[in-house]
Homo-oligomer: A and B are copies of this chain.
Amino acid sequence: MDFWRPPSDEFHDDLRALLATRNEQLLRGLLAELHPADLADVLENLEDDDCTYVFGLIGTQNQSRAIAEMEEGARERLLSVLKASQIVDLVEDLDSDDATDLVQDLADDVAECVLTEIDPAESRRVRRLLAYPEDTAGGIMAVEVVAVPEGERLSQAIERLRQAGETQRDVPQVFVVDRGGRLTGTLSLRSMLLNEPDRLVGEIADREFLSVPASLDQEEVAELVRKYDLVVVPVVDDVGRLLGQITLDDILDVYEEEASEDFVRLSGALQEESPRDSVLSVSRNRLPWLLLGLAGGALSAWVMSRFVTGFEFREALQISFFVPVIMAMGGNVGIQSSATIVRGLATGEIAEPTSRARLVKEIAVGALNALILAAVLWLIVTLWLGRIKLAAVVGFSLAVAMTFAAIVGSAVPLVFKRLGADPALATGPFVTTTNDIVGLTIYLGATTLLLQWI
């Protein structure tokens, strides 16, 4: 086949028909045409017993590649019905980083059993990788690397590449190390092809390279890769010894993960949802923050009820007309500021030394827009209700509430960052709800005070 393409609608119809009759031979033929990534999609969307059945029809190599691509929920369900001996075969077939991810999804006793059964060298590699936090360079690296000593000839380096065998990912570089295993340079496959085989590796190695410590956050690794156009990232220990490598497919997964996380933060859900999750479990996933929002709303209602007692009914009602606009505009300005700061932190464009200047600028922008909108609102209220004083108070309160929202919206992501939390949490409902209540209080407080004075 020339091109990989996601399976067609026709494929899905055929699959359903053949599954209904458990037509093993035709199913094998149908599935043989799929890329492991598409096999993973197919498996994710099948009912549990169909999934186990289909999984049994594809060869071990496809099994291991497909299961490495499956999303966590479906994968855990599938793993839970496989025999330990089957899992051993899968783990042995995978690169150390994918093998580690798989073992992490197993129940503790099954994981221990699998780690005892597999090839001892592979077991050591996986155990070593299990020790790194999942979201660090160590957590996403593979330990399979081609390391060539400085003093060897190019022909020996080529032999090492051959011995590394087919499991080796399609990387464009091998690594050059000194006697202590410390990384001292890289050697592109291109220069291996174009130089004479008897050249010394140390002579043709590229000495300008970037390596990362195993503890570096995966987001920072991704940012370095993007900024410096890296093709593979060597991971080293404290003294510069080569531990493993991160390939670009891992980096793209990091980008995907981070983007998903941002959307989870935005929607104020507890965790990422899967298309197979039931309505009930999705509902449960989103309910806690909604309940918090409701509590905030109830608090708003109570705040309003307290304030309006100071006014005559007619005036209190007129004041209440503008509560929605104050709250909505505070929300809009707050999200503008927090989206800007969250994005700046994510790209590394906002770093520590400049963050105070950015904070001041964000607040200045918020305050400027607040003033403009306050003037517009003042005009609207004056023309509509003909009450210049009330209009001035409403406009002024809008300006104060919006400026405050800009301060909260830009400061909170920076504070979250400093506390080690995800700044993107600031785009979620917690900050919005806080802004709502404080904005309302500012508005009602300012109204009470000003209408008494002027």
Contacts and interface: CB of A to CB of B under 8 A. Distances in A.
B290 A328 contact: no
A218 to B, nearest CB: 14
A279 interface: yes
A37 to B, nearest CB: 5
Given A275-B344, A347-B256, A207 B2 contact: yes
Given A268-B336, A296-B328, A380-B298, A226 B193 contact: no
Contacts of A384: 298, 302
A322 to B, nearest CB: 5
- The residue among A171, A256, A321, A342 with the most chain B CB atoms within 10 A of its own CB is A321
A342 B263 contact: yes
Nearest to A164: B190
Given A266-B335, A298-B377, A358-B275, A323 B325 contact: no
B259 A373 contact: no
Contacts of A229: 37, 249
A454 to B, nearest CB: 21
Contact of A228 (B35, B192, B346): B35
A347 B44 CA distance: 15
A335 to B, nearest CB: 6
Interface string A143-186: 00000000000000010011000001011110000000000100
A61 interface: no
Given A290-B373, A291-B376, A283 B365 contact: yes
A209 B1 CA distance: 8
A387 interface: no
A5 B212 CA distance: 10
B304 A320 contact: yes
B324 A297 contact: yes
Contacts of A376: 291, 294
A273 B344 CA distance: 10
Number of copies: 2
A314 B275 CA distance: 47
Interface in A309-350: 313-314, 316-318, 320-329, 331-333, 335-336, 339-340, 342-344, 346-350
A327 B436 CA distance: 11
Interface magnitude class on chain A:
35 or more
Contacts of A286: 336, 365, 369
Contacts of A293: 328-329, 332
Contacts of A298: 325, 377, 380, 384
A17 interface: no
Contacts of A211: 3
Nearest to A429: B332
Nearest to A439: B324
A213 B286 CA distance: 40
B324 A440 contact: yes
Contacts of A380: 298
Contacts of A322: 297, 301
Given A332-B268, A336-B269, A339-B263, A170 B231 contact: yes
A53 interface: no
Contacts of A262: 259, 262
Contacts of A194: 158, 161-162
Contacts of A325: 294, 296-298, 300-301
A436 B324 contact: yes
A384 B300 CA distance: 13
Given A172-B172, A256-B347, A320-B323, 13 more contacts: A4-B208, A5-B210, A170-B172, A172-B231, A189-B190, A226-B253, A259-B259, A266-B339, A266-B427, A273-B340, A286-B336, A290-B336, A301-B325
